[in-house]
Structure 1
Amino acid sequence: MVTREHDVIRRWAEGRNAQPATIEGTEREGRLGVLTFDFPGWREGGRLKPVSWDEWFHTFDLRALNFIYQEQLSDGRQSNFFRTESPDREDG
């Protein structure tokens, strides 16, 4: 599924006890880098930096990103799969 709706994204993350974060070392010119979530029990090599929802969504909107996500795995268990992607991205 794909959305840009803040409420949908926040509900999805909070339903998984995930907190908004960025990956340290990916910042540019003082702006947040890669947007991600900190899921309980999972760490990106200790490189996750917590950010506020306001910061996360400000960057999300500034970049005009889409939130691509999955609710459930094929076996019915809850899925934590997501990614953010620019609709203007050129694959090439």
Structure 2
Amino acid sequence: MSTSNQTHNHKTIQEWADERGGVPAKIKGTEKYGDQGVLRIHFPEHSDSKDLAEITWDEFFTDFEKDNLDFLYQDKKSDGETSTFHKLVSRDS
């Protein structure tokens, strides 16, 4: 059985992404009011999405905190393989 975890610890999030080849990104064209726009963790090895632009971890976490987000993630799939499942959710929910 796979389980998910939830955190807003920057080090945990960055380590999880780094271990899987993930980089901080934003969806192009969603910027407004001086923020980065809609945030994502992008896995370039698995996707060549032209809609995403890589940003720095500092930029990512600035908006992550401003938007009061948590990182919902899975370490392993039910079959034991490393998972890249994640979602950015409101800390208020």
**TM-score relative to the length of structure 2:** 0.88
Instruction: Give the partner amino acid of 2:59.
Output: E
| Structure 2 partner of 1:21 | 25
Gaps of 5+ in 1: none
Gaps of 5+ in 2: none
Stretches (4+) displaced over 4 A: none
| Structure 2 partner of 1:43 | 48
Separation (CA, whole Å) in 2 of partners of 1:38 and 1:66: 17
Aligned residues: CA RMSD: 1.2
> Paired residues, what number?
88
Deviations 1:1-51 (A, max 9, x none): 00010010000000001111001021112311111122023133x111010
Q: Which has the higher contact order (CA 8 A, sep 6+)?
A: 2
Q: Equivalent residue of 2:87, what SS? A: strand
Separation (CA, whole Å) in 1 of partners of 2:79 and 2:30: 34
Separation (CA, whole Å) in 2 of partners of 1:16 and 1:87: 24
Separation (CA, whole Å) in 2 of partners of 1:35 and 1:3: 16
Q: Equivalent residue of 1:83, what SS? A: strand
Instruction: Give the partner amino acid of 1:42.
Output: S
- Does residue 1:7 correspond to 2:11, yes or no? yes
| Structure 2 partner of 1:68 | 72
* Identical residues among aligned pairs (%): 39
| Structure 2 partner of 1:31 | 35
